Structure 1
Amino acid sequence: MNRVMVYTTEAAVFLALFALAGLLSAPFRRPLREEHSVTGVVPCLGILVGRVARPLMTLLLTWLFTKAVALCPICTRWVCTPAPHYLAWNLFWASALGLAVIEAIAVILFRLRAKPFPVPDLMRNIIRSVMLFVVFFAVLNGTLGVNVAPLLGASALLTAVIGFALQGVLGNLLAGMSLHVVRSVVPSDWVAIDGIEGEVVETNWRETRLRTVAGHVMIIPNSRVASAVIHNMTQPTPRRRHQIDLRAGYEHPPGVVTQELVEAARSVPGVLEEPPPSAFAVGFRDFGIEYRLRFWSDRYYDRTSLEGDVTGMIWYRFDRRGIQIPFPVSAELLGKTGVGALFHEKPADVSAIAQNLRRSELFSKLLTDEKGQPLLQEREIESVAQAVRKLLYTRGESIFRQGEEGESCYVVLRGRLKGRMEHSDTTHVTEFELGAGALFGEMSLMTGMPRTATISAIEEVEVLEISAEAFRRILSMKADIPEHLAGLVAERSKQNAAALQRLKEIAGANAGDALRRESILNRFLHLLGRR
């Protein structure tokens, strides 16, 4: 066998061993994709295995190959008297194994401390490649006796030619190195680059990839990233301020409007408590006072959705407080609709409210006698309905919270509500659901005790608010109603030991006295001005 054939065979064998080692080690190298997020000893061991898998597998397959070839008489001389190429091959991969172990240990030490590795991936790849080239030339010179000076000179000339031909590619490479060194953008950052906004999903030697809110992957060359103004919405902290401008009518005091704006922002999940939301009047305009609401979140990338939730919450709170948002009115529109239709609330449909009250648990459970007959007549119900308000609440909004004082109760007209009761044992939580016709909050109204649960809207809900004034009208309709309700509430409290226990947890030992029939009756008489 001539020398060319020998060299060709050796090269083919080495390439086959390298390819087979890559194929067999691929499953062990998969944990490297999650290297930046792993914590704990066992996952970190996966980093070590992944780093050493390819060189170790190459050495192992090379050893097995030599053992197999040793059984072949024709190849015995080559194996028993190791060829220089064989020794150089093993020395190169042994050096690569050592470098992989050192790199893996360095990464693991940082991951065990829950700290990011200070050298970016691209720089690590470049450093690893340079060191492997150094090992390669050292093996050529030391083991095979090859004079590497001409190779280095030729490689320098080749590098110059390639650099001239691939100026754009090298520009991206150098820009990528710069971005990785200064860490302007790293994976998981939310950034805006030249008007393209999205999450950084990958940075490599040539490009930076962003995933937009719409799910599109935008590929931006590193040279363009390096020359652009980068708006990083994640670093050094994801906390960002939002701003919403709106107007309210001159007839509403600015203190009331700003308070409603602040409470609307606070009640939206995703708005940070610190720094707290703030609102203030910024100027007088033609159709009202202009206000500015500011609040903070760590979801600036999702600002359209979050600001939409806050805007919706403002509308619901303004609607319940009767705060009007002014708008320009043309003469044509004014002539068609009239001033009253545009700027005055529509009169409440008392008959519809009375009908809803009659069908609710307020009457079916509280305002009926022992025979099931209603205690109030149609005319009396309509009188009560005049003091009842229809209110709208949006999804996720709380009607009231556990522990708050309560001077009203509610009837559900449409939609679903969720109740949540927390006990002194914080691990024990009771949840329930309310639907159309349900009555809730009546115990606080009748006894003066704090709310025993937090009630929030599962979806948009419409409720009737029975205020203290409406309840006072109910008590004054007939002389026996206060005693009837006092006895009924006291009896229900005795039967519901769990509710009594919750009240004691919230209000203390006085809860038992407050739920006695005499105490409830005294409260009713006080509401009527008789005590």
Structure 2
Amino acid sequence: MSLFSLASFIFEVFSQVVIREFISNGAGGFILATVFGAIVIARIVPEKRKQLRGVVVPIFIYLCFILLAIVLELNEQVSYSDYARALATAFVSVSLINLGSLMLFDVILGGLHLKVPRLLRETTVILTYIIAVLVILSSRGVNVTGLLTTSAIISAVIGLSLQDTLGNIIAGFALEIEHVIKPGDWIKVEPYVGRVKEVRWRQTVIETRNWETVLVPNSQLMKSQVMIYGQRHGQPMQTRRWIYFNIDFRYTPNEVIGYVNDSLQANPIPNVADDPKIHAILMDFKDSYCTYAVRYWLTDLAADDPTDSNVRIRIYYALKRAEIPLSIPAHSVFVTELNNKREIRKHEQLMEQRLSAIRNVELLHSMTETELKELVEHLRYAPFARSEVITRQGAEAHWLYIITKGEVAVKVSVASMNGNGSSKSLAVEKEVSRLKAGDFFGEMSLMTGEPRAATVVALEEVECYRLDKEAFQSILTERPEIVKDISRIIARRRVELESVKKGLDKEAGKEQVEQTQVRILKSIKDLFGL
């Protein structure tokens, strides 16, 4: 064949493709419509761009088979040309079905925020493929009825050999229809606990807390007992957790439960539900101790161990402040030689340690060494965990805290102004100062009986000594003249705090110190009966 003849043949083939296929038969319009639909999907749902290959690649194969069919027709190979066109029709059907699937499930239903299960989507596409194949075969003169009869026999043979696989697929359909287990659910299928990632044809994918992926056959989910965590009709997703601890019989249950509940409910713990409230209960009596449990409802089911740890820390510090030790197993025996000299030495060391802690406290500067020694007998050790609220603004309490370790933040609730100029009380919490070892707080409530003027929060592990009203009673009764010095210090600190809350300048604050001191002095005398 000469070069001229080859060029003529190529031109004739190209003319046939352009004129007959793309203009007369409307294939060109179809291709343009498909390309336009792919562009729309790529713009609206960009994360589905990779799936557009299922639309574009079949179109390219379709063009190849059409070109092959034309070449065969020009060479008078009509029967082979029909086969090529049938294959071209099959691939164009694949492209149309994939494009329709993306448009329906991702663009239309996705725009309506309706999420179709993956298994249902794939089933719809496969059924559409089967229908398209049957239509193409029927249009080519194939006896579809006979084919279906033969396929039924073959399907029965395949079904017998693939019973487990078919069982998993049918179970997958049942799970999708009932919608009992869905992606995002936390389930327990012995021995695994994890979050459902997706439900596939043969198996359900579960991601565990240990960063493992477990594939559970769908038939096993249908046959086994499955526990779904955190689900109750009409309620938020949360699940109950238990934290156990033991206290010996020297301490009453009401005392233990009261201290623990006060600490746990004082301020929120991350991932712990507000309702029902976290609380402690008495669970059992053992040989030498009582078993208690703290029950709480976990809102983030993935954070079980970290939240358990935070709750245990709260329990530990609450018991430490109450001077209630965790029980020691009954079989543990400690033998210590006790004598009077040793006990006296230990007591003297403890008193000296406490004296060192309070000697530099400004509020107590007017007291003598003897009076300070009398005070230290009333000191109570009070540790706090990080982020724990030590005192809360507005609460009634008659304790003075002296910090020996750590740092705390002093916060006050300040009234804010709205657009109309009216105030909203306690709208904004503002940090006004930080206190460290050697500082003290709570003196106003202790000496006057007034509610707490600020909220104090531990910024780290904090150790304090706590003094109550009875510790001052005898000292102030014997030497009432020191009340004046104490009232002056309290007045100055109170005015400084009020200046921050109300935004007063220092000069205006100084003018209020004397007036405040007179009022505080009277309150102290009334409270202590002086």
Match of 2:258 in 1: 259
> Measured at CA, do residues 486 and 392 of structure 1 come closer, stay the same or move farther in structure 2, by a change above 3 Å?
same
Any conservation in 1 of the 2:41–2:102 contact (CA below 8 Å)? no
Match of 1:93 in 2: 95
Any conservation in 1 of the 2:413–2:501 contact (CA below 8 Å)? no
> Measured at CA, do residues 493 and 420 of structure 1 come closer, stay the same or move farther in structure 2, by a change above 3 Å?
closer
Give the alignment partner of residue 167 of structure 2, picking from 162, 167, 171.
171
Distance (whole Å) between structure 2 residues aligned to residue 515 and residue 251 of structure 1:
50
Cα shift at 1:517: 1.5
Match of 2:195 in 1: 199
Cα shift at 1:302: 4.2
Distance (whole Å) between structure 2 residues aligned to residue 265 and residue 210 of structure 1:
33
Which one-letter code corresponds to 1:97 in the other structure?
A: L
Cα shift at 1:204: 1.5
Cα shift at 1:497: 4.7
Any conservation in 2 of the 1:390–1:464 contact (CA below 8 Å)? yes
Give the alignment partner of residue 404 of structure 2, picking from 402, 405, 413.
413
Which one-letter code corresponds to 2:484 in the other structure?
A: E
Cα shift at 1:187: 1.9
Any conservation in 2 of the 1:393–1:399 contact (CA below 8 Å)? yes
Give the alignment partner of residue 126 of structure 2, picking from 101, 124, 129.
129
Which one-letter code corresponds to 1:201 in the other structure?
A: K
Any conservation in 2 of the 1:249–1:326 contact (CA below 8 Å)? yes
Which one-letter code corresponds to 1:131 in the other structure?
A: T
Match of 1:352 in 2: 353
Cα shift at 1:249: 4.0
Match of 1:208 in 2: 204
Distance (whole Å) between structure 2 residues aligned to residue 423 and residue 207 of structure 1:
57
> Measured at CA, do residues 302 and 441 of structure 1 come closer, stay the same or move farther in structure 2, by a change above 3 Å?
same
Paired residue secondary structure (1:333): coil
Distance (whole Å) between structure 1 residues aligned to residue 274 and residue 181 of structure 2:
28
> Measured at CA, do residues 280 and 103 of structure 1 come closer, stay the same or move farther in structure 2, by a change above 3 Å?
closer
> Measured at CA, do residues 99 and 308 of structure 1 come closer, stay the same or move farther in structure 2, by a change above 3 Å?
closer
Which one-letter code corresponds to 2:415 in the other structure?
A: S
Paired residue secondary structure (1:421): strand
Q: Which moved more, 1:474-483 or 1:209-218?
A: 474-483
Larger Rg: 2
Any conservation in 1 of the 2:171–2:219 contact (CA below 8 Å)? yes
Match of 2:178 in 1: 182
Distance (whole Å) between structure 1 residues aligned to residue 339 and residue 252 of structure 2:
22
Which one-letter code corresponds to 1:404 in the other structure?
A: A
Cα shift at 1:247: 4.3
Q: Deviations over 1:111-145 (max 9, x none)?
A: 1xxxx64x522122112211222123223433x44
Distance (whole Å) between structure 2 residues aligned to residue 328 and residue 244 of structure 1:
18
Match of 2:523 in 1: 523
Q: Deviations over 1:185-238 (max 9, x none)?
A: 222211111121122223312222222222222232333333221111033453
Match of 1:102 in 2: 104
Distance (whole Å) between structure 2 residues aligned to residue 453 and residue 61 of structure 1:
75
Match of 2:3 in 1: none
Cα shift at 1:291: 4.2
Q: Which moved more, 1:395-404 or 1:478-487?
A: 478-487
Match of 1:138 in 2: 135
Distance (whole Å) between structure 2 residues aligned to residue 405 and residue 329 of structure 1:
40
> Measured at CA, do residues 445 and 336 of structure 1 come closer, stay the same or move farther in structure 2, by a change above 3 Å?
closer
Any conservation in 2 of the 1:494–1:500 contact (CA below 8 Å)? no
Identify unmatched segments of 5+ residues in structure 1. 11-17, 30-41, 341-345, 368-373, 504-511
The 5 Å alignment of 1:230-379 reads 230-236=226-232, 238-267=237-266, 269=269, 270-281=271-282, 284-299=285-300, 302-330=303-331, 333=333, 335-336=335-336, 349-359=350-360, 362-363=361-362, 366-367=363-364, 374-379=365-370
- TM-score, with structure 2 as normaliser: 0.72
Any conservation in 2 of the 1:493–1:500 contact (CA below 8 Å)? no
Distance (whole Å) between structure 1 residues aligned to residue 337 and residue 169 of structure 2:
67
Distance (whole Å) between structure 1 residues aligned to residue 300 and residue 193 of structure 2:
14
Any conservation in 2 of the 1:384–1:473 contact (CA below 8 Å)? no
Identify unmatched segments of 5+ residues in structure 2. 1-5, 7-12, 18-30, 76-80, 341-345, 417-425, 505-511
Distance (whole Å) between structure 2 residues aligned to residue 230 and residue 436 of structure 1:
54
Any conservation in 2 of the 1:188–1:201 contact (CA below 8 Å)? yes
Residue 375 (structure 2) pairs with residue 384 (structure 1)? yes
Cα shift at 1:177: 2.4
Distance (whole Å) between structure 2 residues aligned to residue 57 and residue 398 of structure 1:
63
Which one-letter code corresponds to 1:121 in the other structure?
A: R
Which one-letter code corresponds to 1:524 in the other structure?
A: I
Paired residue secondary structure (2:415): coil
Distance (whole Å) between structure 2 residues aligned to residue 122 and residue 514 of structure 1:
79
> Measured at CA, do residues 245 and 170 of structure 1 come closer, stay the same or move farther in structure 2, by a change above 3 Å?
same
